[in-house]
Chains A and B, each alone.
Chain A
Amino acid sequence: MDFGFSEENEAFRAEIRAFIAENVSPEIVQEMHDGTQGAGIGPLTKDLIHKIGQRGWIGMSWPEEYGGRDADIIDQYIFEEELARARVPLNLGNFIEQAPAIMNAGTEAQKQYFLPRLVRGDVTFALGYTEPSGGTDLASLKTRAVADGDDFVINGQKVFTTRAESSSHIYLMARTDPEAPKHRGISIFLVPMDTPGITVRPLWTLPGGRTNEVFLEDVRVPKESMLGAENEGWNIGASALNLGRAGARRYCIYVSPFEDLLKYLQTDDLGRDIARDPVVRDKVAELYCEAQVARLFTMRSLSMVRRGQNPPYEISSEKIWGPEFQVRTTEAASQILGPYHQLWEGEAAPNGGSFPRQYVNAMVSTFGHGSTQVMRTAIARRGLGLPRE
Chain B
Amino acid sequence: MDVLLNEDEEMIRDGVRRFFDAECSPDRVRGIEDGGARTDPELWRQLAELGWLGLALPSVYGGGEAPFTQLTVLFEEAGRALAPVPLHPHVVTALALAEAVGRGECGPLAATLVSEACVGDSLLTWAWSERLPGMGPETIELSATADGNGWRLNGHKGMVEAFEIAGHCLVAARTQTGGSANGGLTLLLVAPNAPGVSAVARRTLAGDFQSEVHFDNVYVDGDGLVGRVDEGWDLARPMLQRAMVLNCAMIVGATRRAAERAFDYAKERHAFGHPIGSFQAIQHTCADMITWVDGAELLTREAAWHIAQGSDAGLAAAAAKAFTNERCQAVLREANQIHGGYAQVREYDQQLWYRRAAAWSMRLGTSMEHRRAVAQALEL
On whether the beta carbons of A2 and B278 are closer than 8 Å, the reply is no
Closest Cβ of chain A to B272, distance in Å, is 11
Q: Do A377 and B323 form a contact, CB below 8 Å, given A282-B368, A299-B3?
A: no
Give which listed residue, B287, B319, B375, contacts A292 with CB less than 8 A: B319
**Chain B residues in 8 Å Cβ range of A321:** 291, 295
Q: Do A4 and B291 form a contact, CB below 8 Å, given A281-B372, A384-B263?
A: no
Of the listed residues B291, B294, B301, the one surrounded by the most CB atoms of chain A closer than 10 A to its CB is: B291
Q: Which residue of A lies closest to B296 (CB)?
A: A293
CA gap between A156 and B380 in the complex, in Å: 54
Q: Do A3 and B302 form a contact, CB below 8 Å, given A299-B1, A306-B2, A375-B287?
A: yes
Q: Which residue of B lies closest to A377 (CB)?
A: B283
On whether the beta carbons of A1 and B375 are closer than 8 Å, the reply is no
Q: Give A82-94 as 1s and 0s: 1 = Cβ < 8 Å from B's Cβ atoms.
A: 0000000000000
In chain B between 113 and 140, which residues have their CB closer than 8 angstroms to a CB of chain A?
none
Q: Which residue of B lies closest to A271 (CB)?
A: B380
Which of these binds chain B: A157-165, A238-246, A283-291, A340-348?
A283-291
Give which listed residue, A304, A314, A376, contacts B288 with CB less than 8 A: A376
**Chain A residues in 8 Å Cβ range of B278:** 386-389
**Chain A residues in 8 Å Cβ range of B267:** 385-387
CA gap between A6 and B319 in the complex, in Å: 24
Q: Does A147 contact B (CB under 8 A)?
A: no
On whether the beta carbons of A304 and B291 are closer than 8 Å, the reply is no
**Chain B residues in 8 Å Cβ range of A300:** 3-4, 294, 298
CA gap between A44 and B335 in the complex, in Å: 55
Q: Which residue of B lies closest to A381 (CB)?
A: B283
On whether the beta carbons of A290 and B323 are closer than 8 Å, the reply is yes
Q: Does A100 contact B (CB under 8 A)?
A: no
Q: Do A373 and B284 form a contact, CB below 8 Å, given A4-B309, A293-B298, A389-B278?
A: yes
On whether the beta carbons of A282 and B372 are closer than 8 Å, the reply is yes
Q: Does A354 contact B (CB under 8 A)?
A: no
**Chain B residues in 8 Å Cβ range of A389:** 274, 278
On whether the beta carbons of A303 and B4 are closer than 8 Å, the reply is yes
Number of chain A residues close to chain B: CB under 8 A: 52
Q: Does A296 contact B (CB under 8 A)?
A: yes
CA gap between A3 and B9 in the complex, in Å: 14
**Chain A residues in 8 Å Cβ range of B274:** 387, 389
On whether the beta carbons of B371 and A1 are closer than 8 Å, the reply is no
On whether the beta carbons of B319 and A288 are closer than 8 Å, the reply is yes
Q: Does B36 contact A (CB under 8 A)?
A: no
Q: Give B297-312 as 1s and 0s: 1 = Cβ < 8 Å from A's Cβ atoms.
A: 0110110111001000
Q: Do A296 and B295 form a contact, CB below 8 Å, given A285-B322, A285-B374, A289-B323?
A: yes
Of the listed residues B267, B275, B290, the one surrounded by the most CB atoms of chain A closer than 10 A to its CB is: B290
Closest Cβ of chain B to A279, distance in Å, is 11
On whether the beta carbons of B284 and A1 are closer than 8 Å, the reply is no
Q: Does A5 contact B (CB under 8 A)?
A: yes
Q: Do A386 and B375 form a contact, CB below 8 Å, given A3-B1, A303-B4?
A: no
**Chain B residues in 8 Å Cβ range of A304:** 4
Closest Cβ of chain A to B100, distance in Å, is 27
Give the interface residue-count category, chain B.
35 or more
CA gap between A296 and B306 in the complex, in Å: 14
Q: Do A282 and B375 form a contact, CB below 8 Å, given A1-B69, A296-B298?
A: yes
CA gap between A385 and B263 in the complex, in Å: 9
Q: Does B110 contact A (CB under 8 A)?
A: no
**Chain B residues in 8 Å Cβ range of A5:** 1
Q: Does B266 contact A (CB under 8 A)?
A: yes
On whether the beta carbons of B290 and A265 are closer than 8 Å, the reply is no
CA gap between A74 and B316 in the complex, in Å: 22
Q: Give A263-302 as 1s and 0s: 1 = Cβ < 8 Å from B's Cβ atoms.
A: 0011000000001001001101110111011001101101
Closest Cβ of chain A to B361, distance in Å, is 14
Q: Does A317 contact B (CB under 8 A)?
A: yes
Q: Do A288 and B302 form a contact, CB below 8 Å, given A377-B284, A386-B266?
A: no
On whether the beta carbons of A284 and B3 are closer than 8 Å, the reply is no
On whether the beta carbons of A384 and B290 are closer than 8 Å, the reply is yes
Q: Which residue of A lies closest to B306 (CB)?
A: A3
**Chain A residues in 8 Å Cβ range of B378:** 262, 266, 284-285, 288
**Chain B residues in 8 Å Cβ range of A74:** 1
CA gap between A299 and B284 in the complex, in Å: 24
On whether the beta carbons of B287 and A380 are closer than 8 Å, the reply is yes
On whether the beta carbons of A380 and B284 are closer than 8 Å, the reply is yes
Q: Does B205 contact A (CB under 8 A)?
A: no
Closest Cβ of chain A to B77, distance in Å, is 15
Q: Give A364-389 as 1s and 0s: 1 = Cβ < 8 Å from B's Cβ atoms.
A: 00000000010111011101111111
**Chain A residues in 8 Å Cβ range of B301:** 1, 3
Q: Do A386 and B372 form a contact, CB below 8 Å, given A3-B302, A296-B299?
A: no
Q: Does A320 contact B (CB under 8 A)?
A: yes
CA gap between A292 and B375 in the complex, in Å: 14
CA gap between A288 and B322 in the complex, in Å: 11
On whether the beta carbons of B305 and A2 are closer than 8 Å, the reply is yes
Q: Does A251 contact B (CB under 8 A)?
A: no
On whether the beta carbons of B283 and A289 are closer than 8 Å, the reply is no
Q: Does A55 contact B (CB under 8 A)?
A: no
On whether the beta carbons of B283 and A386 are closer than 8 Å, the reply is yes
On whether the beta carbons of A293 and B299 are closer than 8 Å, the reply is yes
Closest Cβ of chain A to B76, distance in Å, is 12
Q: Give A10-53 as 1s and 0s: 1 = Cβ < 8 Å from B's Cβ atoms.
A: 00000000000000000000000000000000000000000000
Q: Does A9 contact B (CB under 8 A)?
A: yes
Closest Cβ of chain A to B186, distance in Å, is 31
On whether the beta carbons of A285 and B4 are closer than 8 Å, the reply is no
28 A–B contacts from the bound complex (CB under 8 Å): A1-B3, A1-B302, A2-B3, A2-B6, A3-B3, A4-B309, A5-B1, A6-B1, A262-B378, A275-B380, A282-B371, A282-B375, A285-B372, A288-B378, A289-B323, A292-B302, A293-B299, A296-B302, A299-B1, A299-B3, A303-B1, A316-B287, A320-B287, A376-B284, A379-B286, A379-B287, A386-B278, A389-B274
Q: Which 7 A-B pairs have the closest CB atoms?
A: A380-B283, A285-B371, A379-B287, A285-B374, A376-B287, A296-B298, A293-B295
B interface list, Cβ under 8 A from A: 1-6, 9, 69, 263, 266-267, 274-275, 277-278, 280, 282-284, 286-288, 290-291, 294-295, 298-299, 301-302, 304-306, 309, 316, 319, 322-323, 368, 371-372, 374-375, 378-380
